[in-house]
Amino acid sequence: MIELYLSKRDPQVQTEEEGKTYARVSYKESLDVSEVAHHMASHNTIYSEGTILGVMTDFVKCVRHLILEGKTVKIENLAIFKATVEANGLQSLYDPTTDRVASATLGTLAEGAVTGAAVKTVKLLAQATGDVTRDELKKSVKFAWSDKAAAEIAAAKAAAIGTGGTGNSGNTGNTGNTGNTGNTGNADNTDPTDDGGGDNQGGGPDMG
């Protein structure tokens, strides 16, 4: 279950999003490798926590080594790891005035330079694969409002009702029951097992 909190954009910022409220993920905790090893060992595995930690520690080192060799490492149902670069914009591959050529090195271009180090910075890129791709996550994820968000929503509803009952305006929709004279209004309810409305888990969208 992923908990959500509410974040409101600063109304002073002149953008399309100003004043709107957005759901954000409320992260519960951050686990390091040793804590993940402890978690794995609790799943009735034949391997001890120390063994798992040792394998995972060596695994991380090997992945880094392979990435620095220009290889990609695919961990099925997790991610594809590889190195990527942010490049400098070179105006020329060779500058005859300085006798400099474009170099496959890391650095910044000097002011006025037309060529030099090709790479500004290097970083790790992780691309989701298998069971954790966006489409696959959408099939299984469940959301719930954090306690604070749920309280904010309840307060907003209470305030709206208390300042004129505007929240009840939706009751005018009950006029739609006149359709019962021909029972056509109940056509969508012929299947009592239909849960098309979904369980919003406290207000969050049911993605499962």
pLDDT of residue 19: 76
Pairing of strands 117-128, 103-106: parallel
pLDDT of residue 12: 61
Backbone angles phi, psi at 3, to 5 degrees: -90, 145
* Residue spans per domain, the chain: 1-30+139-162+199-208, 31-74, 79-128
pLDDT of residue 9: 75
Q: Which residues of 118-127 are buried (b: 16+ CB within 10 A; e: fewer)?
A: beeeeeeeee
Sorted by sequence, the CB contacts under 8 Å of residue 139 that are 6+ apart come out as 207, 208
pLDDT of residue 163: 79
What's the average pLDDT block by block, 10 residues per block, for the chain (208 residues)? 89 68 94 96 94 97 97 97 97 96 96 96 97 96 96 95 60 42 39 36 36
Distance of alpha carbon 77 from alpha carbon 90, whole angstroms? 38
pLDDT of residue 205: 38
Distance of alpha carbon 82 from alpha carbon 163, whole angstroms? 56
pLDDT of residue 13: 60
Residue with tokens 């004279």: 181
Residue 37 is which amino acid?
A: A
Distance of alpha carbon 2 from alpha carbon 207, whole angstroms? 11
| Residue 109: both structure tokens together | 């271009």
